[in-house]
Structure 1
Amino acid sequence: MSQQSPQNPLSKGEVFEVLRNQRRRYVLQYLKQDSRPVELGDLAQQVAAWEYETVPEKVTPEQRKRVYTTLQQTHLPKMDAAGILQFDSDAGVIEPTDRTSDLNIYLEIVPGSEFAWRELYLSLGAIGCALVAALWLDIYPLTLLSELTWAGLISVTITGTAIAHIYYERNMRLGHGEQPPELRYGRSD
């Protein structure tokens, strides 16, 4: 088992390498829920349940074995080598490290249920079309404001939404606000 010191934070490359694989994200999610040492079999059962969108009790032995094998042979050793967790392959036990909690922030910043911007834009477009149709048909009380006023309101609403979207996206990027390594460690190489 290897554990690197907390003075050496993970590079962006290491973070992306870990997070690019869904199964490794599931491992981190499981360790986040229960920060105690876990048995490989229990971890494999839960990860398989998430992957196959079922409850752990309904995971088939083949599904569990497939997940168990790749966790044991590939994912857990890679995460252990990076110090993200401690994996005792002989005992089949996984323990979180300080780096495990460091990666939890990335799981929170890149949520699975991100705000649905396309649905918002689709709704704004539909409302805009409905307003144009209602104005064309001279439907009261919409006629109380001029067509130019309505066009201005629609434009301001769409522009304001786009600005909010840009601001939101910039703040949700991995590494946002992070100093480059050469500044963080005082190096210039």
Structure 2
Amino acid sequence: MSLKTQAENDDSPLSRDEIHDLLSNPRRRYALHILKRDDETADLSTLAEEVAAWENEKPVSEVTSNERHLVYTSIQQNHLPRLERAGVITEERGRVELTSEAEELDVYMDVVPGDSIPWAEYYLGLSAFSLALLAAVRVGVFPASVPGLAWGVVIAVLFTCSAAYHTYQNREMQLGRGEEPPDRRV
């Protein structure tokens, strides 16, 4: 699949497939994370050093020149041109800058650890629990001294707290949030 040229991007935003294609490679995700985190601009050498550090799971100070060079070459020859063709960045003389088109990439990474469940399943379970609770109230399982409205408030509070936490977590999983990219934090 070929990405749009800058002229085509001026007329329409990136498609969902193009966004997924751009974000499918960790080096591009890492580079975008650094740019979003560091005020939308960075030197190519800085990008290469940080990406090499993350890939080799070591501090930047311990990255060897060979590790840095391999990443630098790949980013310079493959990943930055691809991002530039998509209109997401501009690169001139080793200085890389995000464009307004990069806002299309403000998607969060739904990284679900092995001991967790996806949010969709969580909300489905919370909805089933709420319906079961309302059915139990309706048939009189709970004492009549507890007003019916109290159960509605309990359900509303559960959904409000869940939605607030979900919103917080989604923001934390966006590219550019935190020191490391989202897929490195889980």
TM-score, reference length from structure 1: 0.56
Alpha-carbon RMSD: 3.1
Match of 2:106 in 1: 104
Deviation by residue 1:147-176 (Cα, 9 ceiling, x = unmatched): xxxxxxxxxxxxx8582399x9xx9xxxxx
How far does residue 7 in structure 1 lie from its aligned partner after superposition? 4.7
Question: What are structure 2's unaligned runs of at least 5 residues?
Answer: 128-161, 167-186
> Runs of at least 4 residues of structure 1 off by over 2 A?
2-7, 118-121, 160-166
* 1:60 equivalenced with 2:64 (yes/no): yes
Distance in 2 (alpha carbons) for counterparts of 1:34 and 1:71: 18
Match of 2:125 in 1: 164
Distance in 2 (alpha carbons) for counterparts of 1:29 and 1:47: 10
Q: Decide which of 105, 115, 120 is 1:119's aligned counterpart.
A: 115
Q: What amino acid is aligned across from residue 119 of structure 1 in structure 2?
A: D
TM-score, reference length from structure 2: 0.57
Rg: which structure is higher? Answer: 1
Query: Higher RCO, 1 or 2 (CA under 8 Å, sep at least 6)?
Result: 2
Distance in 1 (alpha carbons) for counterparts of 2:28 and 2:122: 35
Identity of aligned residues (%): 34
CA gap of 1:37–1:164, structure 2 versus 1, over 3 A, is: same
How far does residue 25 in structure 1 lie from its aligned partner after superposition? 0.5
SS of 1:53's partner is coil
Say whether the 8 Å CA contact 1:44–1:71 is kept in structure 2. Answer: yes
* 1:11 equivalenced with 2:15 (yes/no): yes
Q: Decide which of 58, 66, 79 is 2:83's aligned counterpart.
A: 79
CA gap of 1:52–1:102, structure 2 versus 1, over 3 A, is: same
Q: Decide which of 30, 44, 47 is 2:51's aligned counterpart.
A: 47
Say whether the 8 Å CA contact 1:32–1:101 is kept in structure 2. Answer: no
Distance in 1 (alpha carbons) for counterparts of 2:18 and 2:25: 12
How far does residue 3 in structure 1 lie from its aligned partner after superposition? 4.4
Q: Decide which of 69, 78, 96 is 1:94's aligned counterpart.
A: 96
